[in-house]
Amino acid sequence: MNLTLKVWRQKNALDKGRLETYQAKDISEHMSFLEMLDVVNEELIKKGDDPIHFDHDCREGICGACSLVIDGVPHGKEHATTTCQLHMRHFKDGDTIFIEPFRAKAFPVIKDLVVDRSAFDRIMAAGGFISINAGGAPDGNAVPIPKPDADKAMDAAACIGCGACVAACKNASAMLFVGAKVSQFAYLPQGRVEREKRVRAMVAQMEKEGFGGCTNQYECEAVCPKEIKVSMIAKMNREFFRAAVSAK
Ligand code: SF4
Ligand code: FES
């Protein structure tokens, strides 16, 4: 199929940026969205033009590196799908596709479609860890954990830190991400040792980075490629309230 792309080009964080038009020719429906961009970039490089910069790594939906707002939706319109797992069979010959970066004050554009998501790393560094001497691998059932709690912790741990939740939210709130990262520890006994310190530090860092607050828009849940639920935000709020009234 042949497609028209309207792609956001921006030299650096200070450049104003603009949409530019490109033609993507002879695109197979079996290609992924990123492979389609690879084809366009090969043509640009052959002509001596600057290729379109975009983030990617695993291309398997597990690393969280890919981003892109496709036709106005972070990761595109397919449900629970990262940009790297989005396939061109979901588009039609002759389509015009708009491709923009994730937009949020806390995610400044580095170049074109690449944004700086290191704010997430700093939130994790503030409290997203367990500081115990782990020693050797414990026996599987040495610490009994109820199955429902283990399931909720696993659901929370599915977050790949992509940032689509921030890009979709009109407040650029990071509460779905932070909610998932707080909850993955809070549901487990190992994570409860430092629970007050952790939630206070992670929420403080989230606010310092300039993310907005949650006003229950649910846009984050709608675009999350890992189907993280807003109940994680409620869990984080309960943890935060618990920490606020705790002497620890
Ligand atoms: S909560 Fe979902 S959308 Fe947000 S960073 Fe995690 S995986 Fe991405
Ligand atoms: S490139 Fe790793 S999740 Fe898309």
Q: Residue 180 CA: which ligand 1 atom is closest?
A: 1
Laid out side by side, the sheet with 73-74 consists of 18-24, 3-9, 96-100, 69-70, 73-74
> What values do phi and psi take at 120, rounded to 5?
-65, -40
Q: Ligand 2 test: best mutation among 33, 67, 68, 84, most atoms within 8 Å of CB?
A: 84
Q: Average pLDDT over the chain, rounded to whole?
A: 96
CA of 233 to the centre of ligand 1 (A): 12
- What are the pLDDT digits (tens) for 159-170? 999 999 999 999
Residue matched to tokens 């002509």: 47
pTM to 2 decimals? 0.96
Q: Does residue 61's CB lie within 6 angstroms of at least one atom of ligand 2?
A: yes
Neighbour count for residue 157 (Cβ, 10 Å): 17
Residue 248's pLDDT is what? 75
Q: Does position 107 have pLDDT exceeding 90, yes or no?
A: yes
CA of 40 to the centre of ligand 2 (A): 19
- What are the pLDDT digits (tens) for 174-224? 999 999 999 999 999 989 999 999 999 999 999 999 999 999 999 999 999
Give the CA radius of gyration of the chain.
Answer: 20
Cα dihedral value 236, 77, 99, 42, nearest 10: 110
CA of 53 to the centre of ligand 1 (A): 22
CA-closest residue to ligand 1 atom 7? 159
pLDDT grade, residue 134 (50/70/90)?
Answer: confident
